[in-house]
Amino acid sequence: MKILIVPDSFKGSLSSRQAADAIAEGIEKSQFEIEKIPMADGGEGTVDCLTSAERGTKIRDFVTDPIGRKIQAEFCILKDNKTAIIEMASASGLFLIPPKKRNPLYTTTYGTGELIRKVIKCGFTKIILGLGGSATTDCGAGALQALGVKLLDEKGNNIKVGGLYLKDLQRIDISTLNKYENIDLTFLCDVSNKLLGDNGAAKVYSQQKGASPKEVQILEDNLEHFAGIVKRDTGIDIAEFDGSGAAGGLAAGLSILFKFQFVSGSEFVINAINLRTKIQNADIIITGEGELNSQTKFGKIPYKIAEIAKEYKRPVIGIFGSITKDAKEEYKQKFQYMSALCEHGISKEKAMQNAYSLLVRKVKMIFEEIQLN
């Protein structure tokens, strides 16, 4: 019997590779053939996944993290030597910051801009940029500044980094930046949220990045101000296209400089690793991520895997950090078996702190319960 293990990351606790290792450890039965494929959909782990799938070359370099520290981030060069893959989470991801320091009023995408600049300086004209896992709601202002855009306040100085200081923008100058006009940028993204409004970058995502309800409104107002100045000075409406709210508005900001397109991150990865064939050849599929909720059906890896598995009549076990009450009912036809680490009195905090061992134990319990032979 062949078991295919294909989890996404359990955000804040386990990378997709760690989750796959924990699941395999929990199976512990020699009669099974096990294949582990750590998954990603544009967030953390995307470079790892695609480097392996595309036989690319991984390169590491120093950049600025979301709170201003120097860290090593990575990108991948594909075999064609023309295309680079970047995951913004590697430079500007939420997982890089201790929980007590997370606040999108002050976090920046500057490091993502540095990665893009380095890739372009190396001569690559095609960039695939994964947008998942952002710690920021700065509309890509930091990335733009790293790429040479002048975001000027009333005194003619560059505004400070972070969503709080978008309100200080009085003028934007991109007059000297035609060097980017021949760069093709592809965003890997599975959300279609626009920049502003009730479904926008601030109101939907910034609280999970550390903003209080009051700060969410500050960020919303600042994004609106920033977008207004950009439209006035460049003629580009960065707030209106679907996906402009992705990664705290990073897509909106970068749209000022580059020709761009959006591609489903999960679909891109699924096709790159030939996952459909792997699912067809498996007897059981195990997947999961941090939470199963109402948003999972909008392009999340576990849902995509369940859909493909259904085509080939393969059973899917879904293991998640937590499962919302509505999701348990909503997805019961997609997963033959669903379970969460946050069960039987285990809090979310405890589950995140002990995710690896809890996941190993959960898998053991599942296999005892369903009694696979």
Domains of the chain: 2-37+274-370 (3.40.50.10350), 46-266 (3.90.1510.10)
Structure tokens at 103: 């606040």
3-state secondary structure of 123: coil
At residue 134, does pLDDT exceed 90? yes
- Give strand ranges (E) for the chain: 2-5, 33-36, 57-64, 70-77, 83-87, 126-130, 150-152, 171-173, 184-188, 259-263, 284-292, 316-323, 337-340
pLDDT, residue 289, reads 94
Distance CA 5, CA 8 (A): 10
Identify the band that residue 371 occupies on the pLDDT scale cut at 50, 70 and 90.
low
Q: Would you state the structure tokens that stand for residue 276, as one six-digit string?
A: 């459909």
pLDDT band at 108 (very low <50, low <70, confident <90, very high): very high
Average pLDDT over residues 263-283: 93
> Average pLDDT of 281-297?
93
The sign of the dihedral angle between the CA atoms of 219, 249, 75, 296 is: positive
pLDDT > 70 fraction of the chain, expressed in percent and rounded: 99
Whether the predicted pLDDT of 372 surpasses 60: no
pLDDT at 373 over 60: no
| pLDDT digits 0-9 by tens, 146-200 | 999 999 999 999 999 999 999 999 999 988 777 898 999 999 998 889 999 999 9
pLDDT of residue 45: 86
